[in-house]
Chains A and B, each alone.
Chain A
Amino acid sequence: MPKAQLFITCLGDQFYTSTLQNMTHLLERLGVELTFPPEQTCCGQPLFNNGFEDKTRPVALNFMRAFSKSDAPIIGPSGSCVSMVKHHYPSLFKAGTPEHALVVDIASRTFEFTEYLVNVLKVTDVGAVYPHKVTYHASCHYLREMGLKTEAKTLLNKVKDLELVPLNEEETCCGFGGAFTVTYPEVSRSMMENKVKDIIASGADTVVTCEPGCLMNVAGGLHKTGSKIRAMHIIDLLSSKEL
């Protein structure tokens, strides 16, 4: 029975309890034995991406402490958080030090959720049912840093009665960019409004994404326009048995 550790992410922790619960249930249903290291907090992206590398290090060390108690793979519902661990944590520590060796090991066994399902468990059909028109927003770090170009759509295409419709500028940034939303809120606004316009124009009644950050941004934007379009994390959609 494969084992895995849940990496819930700070945004997941604060705002998306039900998504995390769905993630738990879904993985367990697929036969994964899960543990949840409670010492975890945040991957430290908000600090690292804004140039505060020295201040990121203690946060990274906390992550490493939390997840090194077990050598099981680490699964997170966010491409950007996982990318932070995989691609950027090693640069925080000097090569040759024990911390560096530890972080390289942890980086090698940290996976994004859809990546884990499709590429590790080799599962593409989780028995979900979602009879709706759905459009997909490809999150930037998920797509470009993690290189996950097909996994999400592979999973969506196996959802029963789901009709996937194209999103204009699917790969264009939604304007979240972490702290960017509070650094340059007006530019973030323009980008978000463009994304919302494209989502509405797609004709879908649901927009799905693999990134809690994008979700927060787009869902809030849709709500503000009074739109009835649902914004969902792919985990919630894949947990749907809606009939």
Chain B
Amino acid sequence: MTNPVTENIRRSLGRTAQSPLSLRPAIYEPRISESIDAEIERFLSEVKKLSGVSQKLSSPEIDSALKTLITDQNIRKATVWETPHLRQLGIAEILNFLGVELISPNANKYEMAQCDLGITEADYLLPETGTLVLRSSDEKPRAVSLLPRVHLAIVTPAALRADMHQVFAETKDSNYLVLITGPSRTADIELTVTLGVHGPKNLYVWMMKE
């Protein structure tokens, strides 16, 4: 398959369609993880530096933590990823009990945009930068971490990876991937940092103790 652009390129470089690909230069050695506790602490601390709210929780503590969040952030409508772990934690039930209206994560974008809170997990975590890595699928739609003004990610230590290398090795065949590092921000108006311009204004990250 030829097109004028690749033809132009070949002509400029003196190459043909049969020209070999030279060896790509080597990358550096990837980072090695420290102890799991150190990685967890590093991760949670980086999230805080980005104006996110991070804490460690055990499953019995979820109930009251959610209650506090709902009150603090004035949550009336929420949407939750329907994943095994979040189902096991009973997130939907707790929200229901707290009087929060639940919108299906597969609802249309207009309904989703009415939500105040979106709850997801994270497929991977990067401690150096406090980054959440989220894949996307039917049960894990992208908009849940994007449309609501509050994003809560309930994560586990098993998701931690030392470096982007490890993450990419496992995710490069995804259709969609997003790295989330802190809440949405801009400094476009007189360099004043403002959170939540289009994406979520508040990012909560709860690291499960188990």
Q: Check whether chain A touches chain B (CB < 8 angstroms).
A: no
Which residues of B pack against A, CB within 8 Å? none
